[in-house]
Amino acid sequence: MVQNDKFTFIESALTERVQSQRLRSLQPLQPIDVVHVARSGQVLLNFSSNDYLGLSKHPTLIAAAQQYTEQYGTGATASRLVSGTYEIHQNLEEKLALACGREAALLFNSGFQANSTILAALLDRQSLVLCDRYVHNSLLQGILASGARFKRYAHNDLHQLEAALQQAQQNYSRILIVTETVFSMDGDCSDLDGLIDLAERYDAILYLDDAHAVGVLGQAGMGLAAHRAGVDLVVGTFGKAFGAFGAFVTCSRKLCDYLINCCPGFIYTTALPPAVIGAIEAALLLMPTLESERQFLRQQSNRLRTELQALGYDTGASSSQIIPVLLGTEEKTLSLSRWLDKQGILATAIRPPTVAAGTARIRLALSSCHTPEHLDSLVAAICIWDNINH
């Protein structure tokens, strides 16, 4: 017999969220342009999107999506191994492999799906995973689903990672090192040389999530892990700087063949639709031409960090277009976020459990479409809030 109402657990979970002021709800927005959205008629300057190059509104991507829809239809109609692999899927994979300097690339329907299922396919209960404490939830899901032994090392602490590798004397089937190149909530980078060196010396598989670097950093904007020998798998996404949707992994031909055969998240899902493939292809073609946009984005990021720090704010170890304003308490974070909102600026508060307790923050994400004047108004609004609250 069920003791309570069968949905009691839902009531308690939601009540708990209300009491801890962590109940979240969806806020519908209307996109206006790359950096502006409207909410209930109010126009907001958006510092909370991952459209780092403004490609989601680029006419070339829109035209390509339209053209592929007209030519191939709105859906791919089947999974990749059944009848959902069109030439456009395979061509795109070949171009991605080439652009990243790898033997092979494989498309996935999202970054979340890629991480959560590729890791599960690579690991078994006899494996050991060593991952950075700050990795994205999708990576944790894959690790947990596999049932592998797993240890988290302190954020970007390669000494602790090496100690864990040394301690791993037990006969594991394999050891995976899992981390991100640019961290999604902190905007700092991992030490790729150090990671590659450790993976080689301890014969571990190195798996990198390049989601926030693809489009923005590295050779022709193809990410920090592209063209790097010693990295075994790299996951990139198309929903951020590529302005589209979906994800890809680059790896050896053999590993790619393994995933095609053994990764349920690749096998049992409908292939990406033609419109999305068209948009990604157009973005990929543009990538090498966007060097000045990337440079401008870096300049703007440096400037914003410098100005926030001059005001006494902690931006952590950020060195990318993702700039956290670390405020510590959820109260302060919500107060600033709400203040900015009133000033017509969208800058979302990121709170536990998404980040560690005591590290609540405003996560600012810049786009190359933000002008210096946009940054001026952001800094001015923060300044006024700062004055009121001190």
Ligand X SMILES: *Cc1c(COP(=O)(O)O)cnc(C)c1O
Question: Looking at 93, 188, 209, 232, which residue binds ligand X (CB under 6 A)?
Answer: 209
Does 215 engage in binding with ligand X (CB under 6 A)? no
263 binds ligand X (CB under 6 A): no
Q: Using CB under 6 A, which of 35, 44, 92, 111 touches ligand X?
A: 111
| 349-350, strands of its sheet edge to edge | 322-328, 360-365, 349-350
**3-state class percentages of the chain: helix first, strand second, coil last, to nearest 5:** 45, 20, 35
CB-wise, 115 or 117, nearer to ligand X?
A: 115
**Residue closer to ligand X, measured from CB, 205 or 382:** 205
CA distance 114 to 237: 9
Distance separating alpha carbons of residues 152 and 314, to the nearest angstrom: 25
Interaction of residue 155 with ligand X, rule CB under 6 A: no
Residue number with CB closer to ligand X (115 or 318): 115
Smallest distance, ligand X to C-beta of residue 137, A: 8
Total residues contacting ligand X by CB under 6 A comes to 14
Q: Is the Cβ of residue 297 or residue 381 nearer to ligand X in the bound state?
A: 297
CB 384 → ligand X: shortest distance, Å?
31
Instruction: Check residue 138 for interaction with ligand X (CB under 6 A).
Output: yes
Residue 18 Cβ vs ligand X, minimum distance, rounded to whole Å: 27
Token duo for residue 92: 């795109």
In this structure, are residues 154 and 160 in contact, taking their beta carbons and an 8 Å threshold? Answer: yes
Query: Per rule CB under 6 A, is residue 52 in the interface with ligand X?
Result: no
Smallest distance, ligand X to C-beta of residue 226, A? 16
Give the residue, chosen from 58, 89, 136, 351, that forms a contact with ligand X under the rule CB under 6 A: 136
* 339: Cα separation from own chain's centroid: 27
- In 3D space, the residue among 104, 150, 130 whose CA is nearest the CA of residue 258 turns out to be 104
Q: CA dist 27 to 38, 52, 192, 342, Å?
A: 11, 21, 37, 15
Say what the alpha-carbon torsion angle 335, 337, 339, 345 is, to the nearest 10 degrees.
Answer: 180
- Show which residues are catalytic: 50, 136, 180, 184, 209, 212, 240
Our finding on whether 146 is near ligand X (CB under 6 A) is no
Q: How does DSSP classify residue 99? A: H
Which of 46, 48, 49, 115 forms a contact with ligand X (CB under 6 A)? 115
Contact indicator for 191, 140 with CB cutoff of 8 Å: no
Bridging pattern class, strands 345-346 and 349-350: unpaired
Separation between Cα atoms, residue 372 and residue 375, nearest integer Å: 5
Pick from 114, 121, 125, 119: which is nearest to 142 by CA?
119
In whole angstroms, how close is the CB of 49 to ligand X at the nearest point? 12
Least gap, CB of 360 to ligand X (angstroms): 18
Of 48, 116, 146, 184, the one binding ligand X by CB under 6 A: 184
Round to whole Å and give the CA distance between 105 and 256: 7
Please tell me whether residue 110 binds ligand X under the rule CB under 6 A.
yes
List the interface residues with ligand X, window 235-254 (CB under 6 A). 237, 239, 247
In the set 37, 104, 119, 211, which binds ligand X (CB under 6 A)?
Answer: 211
Q: Note whether 180 binds ligand X by CB under 6 A.
A: yes
C-alpha distance from residue 109 to each of 83, 117, 208, 239 (Å): 16, 11, 18, 10
How near is the Cβ of 113 to ligand X at its closest, in Å? 7
Binding part of the chain for ligand X, among 65-73, 87-95, 106-114, 292-300 by CB under 6 A, reads 106-114
CA distances from residue 157 to 92, 284, 328, 345 in whole angstroms, order as listed: 36, 34, 22, 35
Site of interaction with ligand X (CB under 6 A):
110-112, 115, 136, 138, 180, 184, 209, 211-212, 237, 239, 247
